[in-house]
Structure 1
Amino acid sequence: MQQKTGALIFDETADRYDIRFDLADYYGGLRCGDCLEVFTGGKWKPARMEYGDNWYLVGVRADDLNGLIVRI
């Protein structure tokens, strides 16, 4: 299966994060437990989307998830 690379964005209408691949191409909304890879520190790191008091990524430290480059 081909992986797609995009940027994390917060979809306020759905109250969850999504991945924007292109101008009108989106993943469709991330849910708890969804696995992806995040490009940080010059390399790809595995991560998992979770929700507690707010959305966060297990395996990646980030204060703001908006704009992170990810692939799924």
Structure 2
Amino acid sequence: MAQKTGALIFDETADRYDIRFDITDYYGGLHCGECMDVFTGGKWKPTRIEYGDNWYLVGIRAEDLNGLRVRI
């Protein structure tokens, strides 16, 4: 299966992050433990999304996850 690239967005109605691939194309909501790659520091890095006090990406330092470029 080919990977798709999009941007992380927070879906307030579902209270979780989603990936927006295009104007009407979304992943469908991310759950704890889902793996993806995030583009940071000029390269793709593998990570997974988790929830503690707030949503975060394991091994990725980011104040805000909204808008981060990801592929899954």
TM-score by length of 1: 0.98
Q: Report how far residue 61 of structure 1 moved.
A: 0.8
Stretches of structure 1 that go unaligned for 5 or more consecutive residues are none
Helix, strand or coil at the partner of 1:53: coil
- 1:38-70 per-residue CA deviation (whole Å, 9 max, x = no partner) reads 000100000110000100000211110000000
Percent of aligned positions with the same letter in both sequences?
83
Following the alignment from structure 2 to structure 1, what is the Cα–Cα distance between the partners of residues 57 and 29? 14
Match of 2:57 in 1: 57
- The aligned residue for residue 11 of structure 2 is 11
- Which structure 2 residues correspond to residues 1-72 of structure 1 after superposition, within 5 A? 1-72=1-72
Aligned length, in residue pairs: 72
TM, length-normalised to structure 2? 0.98
Amino acid at match of 1:19: I
Give 4+ residue runs of structure 1 displaced > 4 Å after superposition.
Answer: none
